[in-house]
Amino acid sequence: MAKRHPQPWQRIRTEAGSDLKIFQVRFNWLQNPRNSTLVKATQLEAPDWVNVVALTPEKKVIIVRQYRFGTESVTAEIPAGTVEKGESSQTTAARELKEETGYTSSNWEYLGYTEPNPAFLNNKCHLWLAKDVKKTHPVELDAGEDVFMELMTLEELRQEIDEGRLRHSLALVALSRVFGKIW
């Protein structure tokens, strides 16, 4: 018997849903290629995001802590943000690093991207490594931000992860792509 592989589903129609500012809800009526059943699937349209692993010349990583509305808790993560319309992901990464931490870099490496949740999100999270970062500017937080920045050695960072204090999934993916390069 031949192996069967999933096939793309045909979109029959689309309905616009609520505009939630950071997400646009869309309902897609899709036809299952296996049995022709019509399924109404919810999709959240979102702009792409970036996550930045920022490494100092002394091999310390920048960690930011901030209150997150979704979990109603302070989280440990890496500098990150939303790609603005017309902006490249590298430009966003450099902007977010500077705004959240005051650090800049001229040595960037693209680590690829991840799909935050392909079950219902249509965006990508681009992962960047900023090497040899230096403090060059004051922090420029948005009115809705309250970010605390700290530098961690690789051992401190590993302990932060192992003890469950750094749990942000996109930050963990970015860090996992860097650990093999610097550990």
Q: How far is CA 30 from CA 13, 36, 84, 123, in A?
A: 7, 9, 30, 19
Give the count of alpha carbons within 13 A of 15, CB side only.
9
pTM above 0.85, yes or no: yes
Name the band, by pLDDT with cuts 50, 70 and 90, for residue 120: very high
Phi-psi region of 21 (alpha: psi -120 to 50; beta: other; left: phi over 0): left
On the question of pLDDT at 182 being above 70, the answer is no
| Average pLDDT taken over every residue of the chain | 95
Rounded distance between C-alpha atoms, residue 14 and residue 10, angstroms: 11
Q: What is the DSSP letter of 173?
A: H
- Of the candidates 145, 155, 156, 160, the residue annotated as catalytic is 145
Least confident of 29-38, 60-69, 122-131, 140-149: 140-149
Is 145 known to be catalytic? yes
What ranges do the domains of the chain cover?
10-45, 49-178
For residue 150, how many C-alpha atoms fall within 13 Å in the half-sphere facing its CB?
12
User: Does residue 183 have a pLDDT over 80?
Assistant: no
Domain 49-178 falls in which CATH fold?
Nucleoside Triphosphate Pyrophosphohydrolase (3.90.79)
pLDDT tens digit sequence for 65-99: 999 999 999 999 999 999 999 999 999 999 999 99
In 3D space, the residue among 83, 87, 79 whose CA is nearest the CA of residue 55 turns out to be: 79
With cut-offs at 50, 70 and 90, classify the pLDDT of residue 33: very high
